[in-house]
Amino acid sequence: MTEYREIITKSVVAKGRKYVKSKHIVQPPHKPSSILGCWIINHKYAAKKSGDKVEVKGSYEVNVWYSHHHNTKTSVIIESVTYQDDISLRYRDKDIRDDHEVIARVLQQPNCLEAEIDEHGQHIIVHAEREIAAECVGETKVRVAFTRDHLDDDWDDYEIDEGLEHINTKVYGNE
Give the pLDDT band (50/70/90) at residue 167: low
Q: Report pLDDT digits (tens) over 89-132.
A: 988 766 666 667 899 999 999 999 999 999 999 999 999 999 99
CA diameter of the chain: 89
DSSP-derived letter for residue 148 is: G
pLDDT the model gives residue 65? 97
In this structure, how many other beta carbons lie within 10 angstroms of the beta carbon of residue 145?
Answer: 8
User: Given this model, what pLDDT does residue 11 score?
Assistant: 85
Sorted by where each begins, the domain ranges of the chain are 2-148
What is residue 83's predicted lDDT score, i.e. its pLDDT?
97
Q: Which pLDDT value is given to residue 3?
A: 84
Range of weakest confidence among 4-13, 33-42, 81-90 = 4-13
